[in-house]
Amino acid sequence: MRYRVVTLFPELIDAAIGVGLLGKAVAAGLVEVRCLSPRVFATNKHQSVDDAPYGGGSGMVLSVEPIAKALDALDAERVEGEPRSHRLLLTPAAPRFDQAAARRLAALPSLTLICGRYEGFDARVHSLVDEHISLGDFVLNGGEIAALAIIEATARLLPGVIGNERSLDEESHSAGLLEYPQYTRPLELEGKAVPPILTSGNHAAIAGWRRTQAMQRTAARRPDLWRAFQPSPADAKLLAKAGVTPVRARTHVALVHHPVVDRNAKIVTTALTSFDVHDIARSAMTYGLANYHVVTPVTSQRDKAVFIAAQWMGDAQGEHRARALELVRVAASVDEVVAELTARYGVAPIVVASSARTDSFPGVPRRTAAGLVAELEFLAQPMLVLLGTGWGLADALIPSVSRVVAPIEGASDWNHLSVRSAAAILLDRMFGRRE
């Protein structure tokens, strides 16, 4: 593979390519890296390649002419019959580079990476390249670090660069998953031991454990990757064997009476009604949830919920409603519910807030109801869905929330369903049967 880098700072590239496996690949002739500075083609005495932007604005813009000439010079170095190098413009305003892109680019015979500086490129540079690519959703001082990342990510996929090429098949992102956890000596350190299965000698069981760990780690750490991953039937069996139950069976819904707000955005505590207990318990039973929690700091209100539920216990004529009301639990706070679920499952729940307002819980990721279920389907973590009474949850007082489910919206601008109606609709969107 031949890499060409158009950069104002060749020394940054040269300092990195002689190190580690990449350096060995260069020495072995498997990889060739050549840098060319646009300054070589500057026409002014100071060899400047930037200028003030037309229309005004801060900073300087890289001129198109020196870059165009640098690209022409690199093309002129091609041997007869060789295709033109694939040109990559490194810019944050582009699709993100990932492992799939690395594999695609590694299959090409030559890459030319064009590094920006200052406030970016004259827009006419874009017509000179084949592809725009970004290292991620952030801004660097220049494109050199991004160029080095792309060189290393693609070069290591080339035959002969990595000593054990089988390891490429087990790495993070190789199959759309993060890599499973790895262990080496000592067998135990400060009470933390290597999982016994890894020393069992049962290679089939080890492979299954590693696959399960890779799936669970991906779902927990990179839900964006997990949503795009399609587990096979064999994967589903592995997760079931590991005790990962359907997400509905570890979903808990909580009706929160405090902290909530009134119409003036004042923190209040709302009163419990018998309908709150009956209707949401029946919804929880209908959709196969684990429990329904009534959250209020008022002792008499918690006692009321327990009393209402108890009225149906042992009533043969009300057997089905009794089963629903057996799901009812009471707690003084959301934190108390979180602690209870953490103790039960051995891991903290993923706390999801529901809200009719689009400005609630600023900065917390939004999910559709179906998206939540897909994200958590093969995790071992429980899910706690919070329903707010009054005029909604007091978001600033519930820091455990890590996701917000998209609001229920009808055909009109009026959006004030009862919490019981909203609960039934939300649970149906999550767990209802689909035609």
| β-pair partners for 2 | 32, 110
Distance CA 61, CA 283 (A): 60
Residues spanned by CATH 1.10.1270.20 within the chain? 172-184+194-244
Residue 294 is classified by DSSP as E
For the chain, what percent of residues have pLDDT higher than 90? 77
Average pLDDT over residues 23-34: 96
Residue 28 has pLDDT above 80, yes or no: yes
Residue at token pair 């933390």: 192
Which of 377, 130, 142 lies closest to 246 in space, CA to CA? Answer: 377
Read off the pLDDT of residues 184-209 as tens digits, 9 standing for 90 and up. 999 999 999 999 999 999 999 999 99
Q: Provide the 10 A C-beta neighbour count for residue 127.
A: 8
The confidence score (pLDDT) of residue 435 equals 59
The confidence score (pLDDT) of residue 317 equals 56
Distance CA 14, CA 33 (A): 8
Distance CA 240, CA 237 (A): 5
Distance CA 220, CA 376 (A): 8
The confidence score (pLDDT) of residue 49 equals 95
Degrees to nearest 5, angle at CA 23 with 20 and 28? 125
The confidence score (pLDDT) of residue 176 equals 85
The confidence score (pLDDT) of residue 225 equals 83
The confidence score (pLDDT) of residue 55 equals 94
Q: Is the dihedral of CA 14, 18, 19, 20 positive or negative?
A: positive
H helix or E strand, kind and range, residue 240:
helix 233-241
Which region among 69-83, 204-218, 226-240, 420-434 has the lowest average model confidence (pLDDT)?
A: 226-240
Read off the pLDDT of residues 245-268 as tens digits, 9 standing for 90 and up. 889 999 999 999 999 999 999 999
Read off the pLDDT of residues 175-184 as tens digits, 9 standing for 90 and up. 789 999 999 9
Which of 106, 103, 233 lies closest to 171 in space, CA to CA? Answer: 103
Domain 172-184+194-244, CATH number (from 3.40.50.620, 1.10.1760.20, 1.10.1270.20, 2.60.40.10) = 1.10.1270.20
Residue 312 has pLDDT above 80, yes or no: no
pLDDT averaged over the chain? 92
Whole-model pTM: value is: 0.67
For the chain, what percent of residues have pLDDT higher than 70? 96
Distance CA 97, CA 151 (A): 12
Q: Provide the 10 A C-beta neighbour count for residue 51.
A: 13
Read off the pLDDT of residues 7-27 as tens digits, 9 standing for 90 and up. 999 999 999 999 999 999 999
Residues spanned by CATH 3.40.1280.10 within the chain? 2-155, 247-431
Distance CA 383, CA 430 (A): 12
Residue 424 has pLDDT above 70, yes or no: yes
Q: 403 — phi, psi (to 5°)? A: -150, 150
Residue 18 is classified by DSSP as T
Distance CA 242, CA 215 (A): 11
The confidence score (pLDDT) of residue 119 equals 86
Distance CA 23, CA 152 (A): 10
pLDDT band at residue 303 under the 50/70/90 scheme: very high
| Class of the domain covering 2-155 | alpha beta
Which CATH architecture group holds 247-431?
3-Layer(aba) Sandwich (3.40)
The confidence score (pLDDT) of residue 409 equals 87
Distance CA 214, CA 245 (A): 17
The confidence score (pLDDT) of residue 321 equals 81
Which amino acid is residue 373, in one-letter code?
V
Residue 61 has pLDDT above 90, yes or no: yes
Beta strands 267-268 and 260-261 are antiparallel
Residue at token pair 């955005």: 265
Distance CA 312, CA 165 (A): 65
